[in-house]
Structure 1
């Protein structure tokens, strides 16, 4: 009896602990530390980097959007909560107790009431234990920090988006943290000149007042290239002033802005983090590959389940159900499911066509798994069989993608796949009579065919020559909207095929190859039985 009772308790404990499990396969704290160390190695002497978490953004009334961490902040910290700041020093600092440190993570403080509503927070001790930081402080302490940013030769930040909400419910939201930093560092947006603004300033400085009317006209034209100029009060006053004395005073003020010096650098972080993020570590590739394979399985299941009576939204739901079944937290971007002419809208996300009928259905979706985002597109016939015209267009795109993937190798320029794809597509369109000459400019492929993927669907990278262990998409397409200047038998046909390609020293590897790409292989897959065939819900309109 005792042994039975012991066994029962043991089984109950195991079952209960199973129900309470949370994912454990996020990036390790050692990974994030290695990324901080790699960035610090690139930082100039006597510099400090300041990286902010994403803010909470409002959806409507008292409902917020699901929080998603800033990719660079997550890359460097692993912290998945809002209202945080990372301060990274190039050189060791010493605190009031003589303890040496080279980084500080500021986190939102523990709050029992807030956690009851919105979930547990790591707090200081959690960040130390789970994220591996030695020096962690509450975010409130950054608002009143004694770090004198003016003492550093370089203060490295990213450009502020300035869409931070001040909800007044919390005195240490990202809004407050950014305001505190700007005040403490002497941040002045006028010290950061766009190329257009710099040229205009230089023109104002060099032009005698008697010729200023010509400069005013040039400023008017420059507004079309850089609308932010209208926010420059001195420049707009100069443009509209008629009094020579006032113009002279404004000219002097604008000239001083050209000479303004600042220790704040808004370019270093974005460029150096892009170079780091472009090359994936083995730990990253494991997660990214899983996100890609989840997305490919979603495409396969939809191929088996698709029927002409289904809606675009229903097909989207099957994809996203597969993602959730595998434990993916989010979609990497808004799902695109476009039947027929809807597929010609490149970022079509309404997905509201109630029946896909006999159209081709373009499905561009990607799972986000532990922060890493796939991007996989398949285009398939809703009734399981390509028409002659659909197959003609589809097979051109497939041949183009094969050519693009072949060019995705170490040392090639980032544009090499695009050049290869366009050549095949133009030759195919010419053969079908859709264009008249090989060099004809046409609207049937209006986008590039390659971008990086990783923590963003359009991930950071140098966009230079390909290097090993980067992951790109190759996604040629042909889009022929209704009313196009070609035989109307091709109208409403939209095809895109997109795969996620790992660049290696031994050639490209298609990570999403589990989802069929050839037209005959798609038709064969669509004949298979779906586990959802018997999933029939009640009719709510009866």
Structure 2
């Protein structure tokens, strides 16, 4: 049996907020399924991970579960879940079962999962709007269609199924953008554990090791400190591999004189962390490596200064690009003027990704980067940051061999990434438990 959250009040409060919004729009019924289990091969399954939206509203982590919220004169929150089963529990572990789940997680009622097909057509009756994730889980979509069809066929005496369908995913994405105290606490813990794992990998790195050996150091520290999972597959890229943005940890050998780029983070209580550091195998940056590293660090500093309430979520990217582009010109990686290489996009030869993304229950978390509402001049403006948002700040530079590129910079890939909580005053980098300045990294590796 999965352990329930210590405090279920935040989950009940989120359900209440969603139902308030539904009620303000005339009422209705929301139906969400958790993620299905997935077979890895034969009769072995992938480690189970619940659906993030479902968890956000319930705190419930067992598979085969559905949430039903009815917003009207009286709000109701119902859970459908697997019943207790002695034989299955011998093999798979204890289940809550409907009765215990309703009490422990604060639902008005709970039913066995097998009762869904019987009860859902009736629950849909007299609800003006059905709120559900549209075009999401194919199996869930199919069941919803069948329940709607059954409700239409059985409609009599003036009772009708919902006339409208509303995608609930964008509503939940807006809610999830602003983290509450429970979420921030989980993300702080994930950040602390991940920072410790990066520091461990720096101390362990030696010429002759392989990338997967450093990955093992990360995974060990994640689990040793209580993280339940990785937030994403770790990137451990030695030498030229760092110029591949999503390079998985492989068997390449760490060589004296090369850099190692590690992009890795753990998940704690379903919340992600996301850290990238780039450090020298031998504990000391060469001149060209230090020049590119310091440039990337300066770009991150500029992006951090541009991350504050009321600022556009794109301001940090613009700030980082301006610093990086000027550095590319200074180092003779590019020719021309600063405004020219930015306007033409010439800088993207060496910096081809955005400077950050939302972070939360998903490592690339939900939420629009543009302001809700109609477009202005053909495009909606960038969203303004608010206190409680969590995002990454991750500039980088990746130099591949080319005839017009100084050879000293060939095959150097550098990224620096931290997790930033937007505060009333600006932002707080919650992942600085591992050093970021080149001199501090060198000092750590000498320990």
TM over 0.5: yes
Q: Map of 1:174-193 to 2, 5 A cutoff? A: 175=139, 178-186=141-149
Other-structure match for 2:353:
447
Which stretch of the first structure deviates more once superposed, 353-362 or 514-523?
Answer: 353-362
Give the total of aligned pairs: 413
User: What per-residue deviation string (whole Å, max 9, x for no partner) do you get for residues 101-123 of structure 1?
Assistant: 61211111222111111111111
Other-structure match for 2:217:
318
Aligned partner of 1:154 among 116, 129, 141: 129
CA distance in 2, matches of 1:83, 1:48: 20
Q: Contact 1:47–1:156 (CA<8 Å) still a contact in 2?
A: yes
Q: Which has the higher contact order (CA 8 A, sep 6+)?
A: 2
Q: Contact 1:410–1:466 (CA<8 Å) still a contact in 2?
A: yes
Cα distance change, pair 423–509 in 1 and its aligned pair in 2 (3 A): same
Other-structure match for 2:97:
123
Aligned partner of 1:517 among 418, 436, 441: 436
Aligned partner of 1:291 among 190, 194, 204: 190
Which stretch of the first structure deviates more once superposed, 285-294 or 126-135?
Answer: 126-135
Aligned partner of 1:36 among 10, 15, 18: 15
CA apart distance, 1:181: 2.0
CA apart distance, 1:483: 3.6
Q: Map of 1:91-490 to 2, 5 A cutoff? A: 91-92=72-73, 102-145=76-119, 146-149=121-124, 151-162=126-137, 175=139, 178-186=141-149, 263-266=164-167, 269-437=168-336, 438=338, 439-440=340-341, 441=346, 442-463=348-369, 464-483=383-402, 485-490=404-409
User: What per-residue deviation string (whole Å, max 9, x for no partner) do you get for residues 186-205 of structure 1?
Assistant: 49xxxxxxxxxxxxxxxxxx
CA apart distance, 1:63: 0.9
**What is the SS of the residue equivalent to 1:69?**
coil
User: What per-residue deviation string (whole Å, max 9, x for no partner) do you get for residues 339-368 of structure 1?
Assistant: 111111111114221334431111000110
The yes-or-no answer on 1:81 pairing with 2:62 is yes
Structure 2: unaligned runs, 5 residues or longer: 151-161, 370-382
CA apart distance, 1:262: 5.4
CA distance in 1, matches of 2:309, 2:359: 17
**What is the SS of the residue equivalent to 1:127?**
helix
CA distance in 1, matches of 2:58, 2:137: 22
| TM-score, normalised relative to structure 1 | 0.73
Q: Contact 2:387–2:422 (CA<8 Å) still a contact in 1?
A: yes
| TM-score, normalised relative to structure 2 | 0.88
CA apart distance, 1:92: 4.2
CA apart distance, 1:179: 3.3
The yes-or-no answer on 1:70 pairing with 2:51 is yes
Q: Contact 2:134–2:141 (CA<8 Å) still a contact in 1?
A: no
CA apart distance, 1:462: 3.7
Q: Contact 1:478–1:496 (CA<8 Å) still a contact in 2?
A: yes
CA distance in 2, matches of 1:184, 1:472: 39
Q: Contact 1:311–1:356 (CA<8 Å) still a contact in 2?
A: no
Other-structure match for 1:255:
none
Cα distance change, pair 23–124 in 1 and its aligned pair in 2 (3 A): closer
Q: Contact 2:283–2:445 (CA<8 Å) still a contact in 1?
A: yes
Structure with bigger gyration radius: 1
